Structure 1
Amino acid sequence: MLATESVSLLLLSLLSSLFHCEHSLAFSLKNCTILYSENPNNVSVTCAERHLTAIPDDIPGNAVLLNLSSNHILNISRMDLRGLSKLEALYVKYNWILQIDNGTFADLVELKVLDLGENSLTALTKNMFQGLSKLETLSLNSNIISFISPVVFQPLVMIRSVDLSHNFLHQITDIDHIIKLPTLQHLIITHNNFTSFQSDDLHVNTSNLLVLSLDSVKKFSITRDIFPHLQSLDLRGWTRNIQWVVSNKTFLRSLTRLHMSETSLNFEVYKTILQTTYSLQEFQMDNIKKWIDDGLIDVACQIHSLRTVDVRNSEIHTIKENMLQSCSNLTELNLSSNHIESVADNALQSMTQLRSLILQNNYLSKLPVDVQGLTTLEVYDLSINDISELYCPYFWNLTSLTILDLSHNRISYIYECVFENLNNLKILNLENNKILSFIKTFNDKLQTLEFLNLRNVDIMDFIQGDFHSLSSLQYLDIDLHECVSVDEGGFEGLDNLQILYLLGDNYFYDHFNGLSNLSTLILNVVSSQPHNSSEQRDKPFSNLPRLKELVIKVHKGYYDISKDVLSGLTSLESLRTEAYFMGSLHPDTFKHTPQLKGLTITYSELSVLTSDVFLPIPNLMMLDLSNNKLRSLDFLAEAKLPALRWLNVSDNELFVISEAVIQSLPGLTYLDLSANLLTCECSNYGLIQWIQSSKQTQVVNAHQYTCVFPVSQRGNKFLDFGFDSCWIDAALLCFLFSSSLVVLTLLASFIYHFLRSHLTYAYYLFVAFLYDNKRRKKGIPHSYDAFVSYNVHDEAWVCGELLPELEGQQGWRLCLHHRDFEPGKPIVENITDAIYNSRKTICVISQHYLQSEWCSREIQMARCCQHLCPCTQ
């Protein structure tokens, strides 16, 4: 049986070598990883940050995404990407690419995204992009491109976006053939060496460009209507005064968005630019503190179509009364990331149509009073400021407010009247404040609220009924780990809550009453202590019949987990735990979760698991047991998990993976065995052959696995281990030798007992045959004319009648055994000599002769010599 198994393994090895060479069948890639996906047609391969100097030759032919970013690739040849006809996205940024051969991308007929940014390309040659007829997005930023072939973009008949920023292009004519592309909508050419951008230098009548990002130039001149569809113009990075010439405002009639930055431009240049954009709707400015006090925002707001102003990083300390006096038509104002400390009382009074006000990341210590009159306000962001108090009337007139962000402030208390009249509020963010309690804060208020974030809020008391009126709430993120008192049933009333993120210590109470529609529960346990057992505390989730996803992360300490801890979770599909099921799992742990499809148990010091644990969850598709202390996967052999697709057992103490485990998982497509104590011995032979030959299961980074045992193999590649020694197995040899010895002993005993006389006879026949052949070859004459073979009972007839006739009358010389046999010589040898020393053998056949054993041997030997003369008495 072992010999047969060895032959099978040898054939498997040969087949695996054939499969390994086939480009489209490679699965355990040498330097890349196939990202897991439920869709078998969505094969995404990442080779990022692998120190590659060339594109690997084992990329699967059905890959749709390939990421080769952050490597050391110098060149891409025509053969490197051959056969990848299904590829839709290729990322090769952050390499050292100097050269791309013409026709390299010819096979990539489905490619839509190509990113070659952050490389060392100097030129775009004639046929570089041949075959990319479906390409939509091309990134060539941060290279050293100074030459572009006039026809290089012709194959790109569907191109929509091109990024050529941070290169060495000198003349605007270098991009003339790009702007001509009929499908091009987005062009980025910032940070090049252009000195001017003039329509007269472009040999194009009309461009379909929608977005243009342009670097600083000395002259910007549009004297022809070549950009009738241009919607967005990005002029960030302009560091010098320019000559701005737009001879007719209608040439920029479609421009709705303008983005500018820096402070080196003359104020009059800003005004000139704004005056040529009469349809502008959105104006964004960065780092323009020099011209804020001179009224640049007010100048922009004089454009009647303007609706959005975004001014960031401009060191505005105070919003003065006249700063926004012309901005009555604005609907969105973003003044984030400035140094705003105060807002003048009448600074916002003219903004009667404002719907969004963003004051994020400033130094406000109190609420701007003027905001109380903005009755149209829908989005209000005061996050990352120094606000410590919310007073009651402040929000009363903001009845249209839907989003309120007060996170990352110093709010310690919220009066029960603060949120009155906010009848349309849907999102409230109070993260990172010092709020101690919410007694009556939400009572009969915020009945339309859907999202509430209370993460990192120092709640001291969690009182039943605090959230009773929030019947529309769907998402709640709450921190209870600082609570001194926690009432059971604190979440009662949240009938429509879908997602609950709970940070705390003692959540094993009847907290979850009333959450009958909860679908996702994320428990982040800062410090947990053992509890006194009770039926309710042993079954904390029994009131969550619709929960589909449960995440439990324990930071330190752990509970003595009850076997019924998951009781009631009949709809649970995903369970992720960290440092929770410490040490072991009860066989009945998952008997209440028959629908479970994804299971993660990490950092739990699991060393032994039994197959009984997994028998209640046969539909399991994803299993993560990484970062434990497992020494064997044999429990999977009998776990009956036919649907398992994804298995991660990395960072354990696995030595050997048996073939029984592999064969028990017929649906497995993804396996991670990295960071284990794999041994390079014959016991892992089947695993290595399976890794190399499997066309279904990807063993992630298998070619990087190293041997840990034995010491002589430590550090060597696991898949490079040679199995020559496995063919000379000492145990196998001992088995074969002992078996052969037993069989030979039995056979010898049988032959000796039953066939020894026949063997003796056959031996002498053979000797006689050899002797006769030898005499014939040497020509030795016979001593007798005939040998007479007879029975002793016929001796009287032979001597009385036969002998006188033949010797007396005929003159023959006969050989008779009683007269001519040599005394003392074995009878068989005498017979043999007599036969072969005689020309003929005369057999006197009688009844006694036929019954004689020696006579029978004599006649057989005579027949062998073919000179038999029968004679009957």
Structure 2
Amino acid sequence: MMFLQFVTVLLFLFNQDQKASSYSLKNCEVHGLLTNRTKVLCYDRQLTHVPAYLPSKLFFLDVSQNNITSLRKSDFTEMSNLHILNVSQNKIGHIEEGAFVHTSRMEILNLTTNQLIEPSAFNLSTTEIISVLVRLRELDASHNPISLIDIATPALQSLLSLDVSYSTPRGSTVWLKQDPCFLKGLKIIYLGGMAMIPSNISALLQMLNCSVLEIIHLNHLNLTESDGLIEKVCLSHPNVKTLNLQGNRFTSIEAETFENCTQLRSLNMSSNRLNMLPPTLFQSLHFLQVLSLVDNKFTSVPNATSNITSLESLDLGFNKFHIISPADFINLPSIKSLCIIGNHISHVHSDLFGSLYSLQELNLGENHLRKLKEPFSAGLAMLKTLLLNHNNLASIKKGIFKNLTSLRVLNLVDNQIVTIEPGAWEGLNNLRSLVLGSNRITRDTLQDGTFQGVSSLEELQLFSNYISYESTKSLANPPFQHLHSLKKLNPKTQVLHFYQYTCASPPAFKGKKLLVFKKISCISDCMFILYVANMTAVLLLMLVCFFYQWRMHMIYSYYLLLAYFIDKRQKRKGQCMEYDYDAFLSYNKHDEQWVINDLLPVLENQYCWKLCLHHRDFQPGRPILENIVDNIYASRKTICIISHHYLNSEWCSKEIQVASFRIFDDCKDVLVLIFLEDIPSEYLSPYHRMRELVKKKTYLKWPKDEQEIPLFWLKLNMAMKTAAMPREAYDHVTGVFGGEIALCGSSARFCAMRCEPSHCLFPSDTL
């Protein structure tokens, strides 16, 4: 024991002499330098060749997304430990002989998306590759216009995965097949999107019958049911486990198509033109676990998808379903994932998924769901992820998720949610993530207790809603106070490669490092001044247009306010107003003959009232509005003689409005209405304020029967005698004076009624 301690001390003292030093690798990042799996990342750096002076123990090299045009022999001289090389998404058109002579341990080579065309550029039979890439397991040469593939190249002897998909030269791709059993270890082949006719594809797969292919990709080859390719694949490779038929032109499938693919575990038939399937199509696939029928033309769930007892994942997205029923998912005891995204489903019943006891993920996004009327079935007790995004849900009702006790992720993004009822999240005790972004949630939606029931919530997203708080004060009842498990926000953000960013503008700083750029140079001192000047000009223009459009109303309002303030000033001085006239006559010139011949002789001669007339008493030379305002306020009463001509007169309208304003200003009963004609109530325009006045005040009507004319003058005389009432008698609610004489008239009968604030008394001498 003492010896071990002594050795430890010596090692510690020895290491004290070692000094730490820094290092930097231009255009690359190094990870795991002290291990045997050193990773160097040089992707997307605008490189034109493979960087030199890389670590000698390099295990993984990524130089993808650059501008490399060729691979040279000197690029990999010190990379004997290289296992994985990614040179995808470059412009490689030539691989120099002996380029991989020092990479004898390479297992994975990714050459996808380059410009390998001629055999000399990518001839897998070259001696350099023969003697070197004997351990190559995965080769990805997809998205290259390759015209020649020699599958008997010794470099491919140990190959497990070959990807030559989307190799589309100007002509067709030529396959050299000297030894049919050479690729006997091949298990995965990608042939999707190649420029090959179905018969050549069938011949190629039959030639590889010595290989135990487990994964075959035949996507985007324009295959149809008439080609019979699926049956041939199942005959020559009965042990295939994954078959990808995506993006072809199948419109129907025969019932016996997959009867020889008994080991099939994953089948992808998405993006075809299928509208129905034979009920017994998958009857022989006893091990089928994953089935994708996305983006076809089904209007209902195919019966063939039922009774697949081994099925774990079913994707029926982006079809044309309007209605789904519990019978569509019977006898699927093993299913864990069900996707029905992108259909036209508008209703979901509580028992719809009741038999899917093992279901863990349910995707109902991008449908037309408007309401969730009933709680989800108790049979979904194992459900962990529920996606209801991109629907039209407006509210979340109480207890709708109460049976989903195992749910961990709930996505409700991009709905129309406005209301969240208390108890909406009842039963979601294990929920970890709740996404409510892009809805119509407001401040009123989030109340105290809104998020009760989700005590385990760790992530809550409320982006793109209508939540606003004007004050920075603490809320009395914070809606998130029960969410104790929410992970705290980290305000610090790492900016990767910040020191490499350069400025594109302004021109004075173009090309310089962003690190030395001072953002204050982007701030112009005159910007705020220009903003204020522009805003002032816009507001001034708006005001000018507004005043020009309503100039007459503005002038009229000015004089009304002027009269109001003059009167208030006189009241503050305690001046006692003495009236020059008993009544101001407001009438239209078309009714002047009735005023002169009938009204004046009775009121001035018989009853001795002093009246104010326009042509007789207005002061010459003064503005007409001033004459109107001054004479109305100089008169104890205002008599308005109403006719059709009166209602169409602008000056008459102003006179009655000034008189109406005086009612509220002085709290006096100053207005007497006389109707010379029968005028329906709908013609009493709010512009003349006649409808409101008629509702609140009684009026006199000029009788047609000459025998009733004396009674009319008597009533008018009584209205003239009505004294001003004190302010206390004015009812601010109804706008009626408690002590005024209410006069009502009709062509047949008149009555007088005196209304007090607390009761109404009918006079005993009813006229």
The reply to whether TM is greater than 0.5 is yes
Do residues 132 (structure 1) and 66 (structure 2) align? no
State the match for 1:508 in structure 2: 446
Residues 787-833 of structure 1 show CA distances to partners (whole Å, capped at 9, x for unaligned) of xxxxxxxxxxxxxxxxxxxxxxxxxxxxxxxxxxxxxxxxxxxxxxx
Cα deviation 1:401-435 (Å, max 9, x = unaligned): 10001111111001222111110000011111111
1:461 aligns with 395
Correspondence for 2:110: 163
- Please state how far the C-alpha of 1:255 moved relative to its aligned partner: 2.4
1:448 matches 2:382:
yes
Question: What's the counterpart of residue 209 of structure 2?
Answer: 277
Query: Alignment identity in percent?
Result: 20
TM-score, with structure 2 as normaliser: 0.55
Shift of 1:197: 1.2
Structure 1 partner of 2:335: 401
Q: Report SS of the residue matched to 2:205.
A: helix
CA contact (8 A) 1:467 1:490 kept: yes
1:84-163 residue pairs with structure 2 within 5 A?
88-93=39-44, 95=46, 97=48, 104-105=52-53, 110=58, 112-115=60-63, 118-122=66-70, 124-125=72-73, 127-141=74-88, 142-150=90-98, 152-163=99-110
Q: Secondary structure at the match of 2:41?
A: strand
Per-residue deviation at 1:328?
4.0
Q: Is the 8 A contact 2:85 2:109 kept in 1?
A: yes
**Partner amino acid for 2:136?**
L
Partner of 2:363: 429
Cα distance, 1:377 vs structure 2: 1.5
* Residue aligning to 2:427: 493
What amino acid is aligned across from residue 380 of structure 1 in structure 2?
Answer: L
What is the CA–CA distance in structure 1 between the aligned matches of 2:363 and 2:245, rounded to whole Å? 23
The aligned counterpart of 1:187 is: 139
Q: Partner of 1:64 in structure 2?
A: 30
Contact 1:459 / 1:479 at 8 angstroms: preserved in 2? no
- Alpha-carbon separation, structure 1, partners of 2:129 and 2:116: 15
2:486 aligned to which of 543, 547, 554:
547
The structural deviation recorded for 1:466 is 0.7
- Structure 2 equivalent of residue 778 of structure 1: none
> Take 2:57 and 2:92, find their aligned partners in 1: how far apart are those partners?
27
Instruction: Output aligned runs, 1:641-790, within 5 Å.
Output: 701-705=514-518, 708=521
Contact 2:59–2:84 (Cα < 8 Å) also in 1: no
1:295 to 1:182, Cα distance in 2 relative to 1, 3 A: closer
SS at match of 2:386: strand
Distance 1:198 1:387, change over 3 A: closer
Structure 2 residue aligned with 1:178, among 115, 123, 129? Answer: 129
Q: 1:708-749 deviations in whole A, cap 9, x for unaligned?
A: 17989x9xxxxxxxxxxxxxxxxxxxxxxxxxxxxxxxxxxx
Q: Partner amino acid for 1:91?
A: C
After TM superposition, the structure 1 stretch with the greater mean CA deviation from structure 2, 421-430 or 129-138, is 129-138
- Aligned residue for 1:272, secondary structure, equals helix
Residues 1:254 and 2:181 aligned together: no
1:527 CA drift (Å): 1.9
Identify the residue that residue 302 of structure 2 maps to in structure 1: 368
Query: 1:562-711 alignment to 2 at 5 Å?
Result: 573-574=488-489, 598-599=490-491, 622=492, 701-705=514-518, 708=521
Q: 1:25 to 1:267 in 2, by over 3 A?
A: closer
Runs of 5+ unmatched residues, structure 1:
1-23, 27-42, 46-54, 67-84, 215-233, 549-572, 575-597, 600-621, 625-645, 649-668, 681-698, 715-873
Counterpart code for 2:215: E
222, 233, 237: which one aligns with 1:289: 222
Q: Which amino acid aligns with 2:128?
A: H
Measured in 2, the distance between the counterparts of 1:450 and 1:441 equals 16
Q: Provide the rounded CA distance (Å) in 2 between the counterparts of 1:647 and 1:91.
A: 18
Instruction: Label 1:129 to 1:415 Cα distance change in 2 as closer, same or farther (>3 A).
Output: same
Q: State the SS of the aligned residue for 2:139.
A: strand
Match of 1:240 in 2: 172
Q: 2:248 aligns with which of 314, 328, 337?
A: 314
- Evaluate the alpha carbon distance shift between residue 352 and residue 531 of structure 1 in structure 2; reply closer, same or farther with a 3 A threshold: farther
Over 3 Å counting, the alpha-carbon distance change for 1:181 and 1:254 in structure 2 is closer
Paired letter, 1:523: L
Conserved? CA contact 1:461–1:483, under 8 Å = yes
What is the correspondence of 1:193-204 to structure 2 with a 5 Å cutoff?
195=148, 197=150, 199=152, 202=153
Q: CA deviation at 1:296?
A: 0.8
Q: Matched residues in 2 for 1:673 and 1:242: separation? A: 46
**Residue pair 1:308, 1:331 contacting (<8 A) in 2 also:** yes
Cα deviations by residue, 1:179-205 (Å, 9 ceiling, x for unpaired)? 433543223445366645163xx577x
Q: Secondary structure at the match of 1:289?
A: coil
- CA distance in 2 between counterparts of 1:710 and 1:485 reads 44
Cα contact 2:407–2:431 (8 A) shared by 1:
yes
Q: Is the 8 A contact 2:151 2:183 kept in 1?
A: no
CA–CA distance in structure 2, aligned partners of residues 328 and 111 of structure 1:
40
Deviation at 1:308, TM superposition (A): 1.9
Shift of 1:391: 1.2
Preserved CA contact (<8 Å) 1:434 1:457: yes
What residue identity is the alignment partner of 1:153? Answer: F
String of CA shifts for 1:215-252, please: whole Å, max 9, x gaps: xxxxxxxxxxxxxxxxxxx6855863756646454x43
Residue 208 (structure 1) aligned with residue 158 (structure 2):
yes
C-alpha contact (below 8 Å) 2:161/2:188 kept by paired residues? no
1:512 deviates by 1.1
TM-score normalised by length of structure 1: 0.49
For 1:672 and 1:145, the matched residues in 2 are separated by: 30
Counterparts of 1:531 and 1:193, CA distance in 2: 64
Q: Answer yes or no: is the 8 Å Cα contact 1:395–1:420 preserved in 2.
A: no
Q: Which amino acid aligns with 1:131?
A: E
Q: What residue number does 2:571 align with? A: none
Pairing partner for 1:527 from 438, 463, 466: 466
Give me the whole-angstrom Cα distance separating, in 2, the residues matched to 1:517 and 1:350: 44
Instruction: Report if the CA contact (8 A) 2:166-2:193 is conserved.
Output: no
1:283 partner letter: I
Shift of 1:490: 0.5
Indicate if the aligned counterparts of 2:59 and 2:82 stay in contact, CA closer than 8 A: yes
Q: Is the 8 Å Cα contact of residues 406 and 428 (structure 2) preserved in structure 1?
A: yes
Partner amino acid, structure 2, of 1:304? P
Task: Select which of 452, 457, 466 maps to 1:518.
Answer: 457
Paired with 1:123 and 1:502, the residues of 2 have a C-alpha distance of 50
Distance in 2 separating the partners of 1:145 and 1:263: 19
The total of aligned residue pairs comes to 483
Q: Counterpart amino acid of 2:161?
A: V
Q: 1:236–1:259: 8 Å Cα contact kept in structure 2?
A: no
In 1, the alpha carbon distance for the partners of 2:315 and 2:514 equals 45
Counterpart residue number, 2:404: 470
Is this contact kept in 2: 1:120–1:144, CA < 8 A? Answer: yes
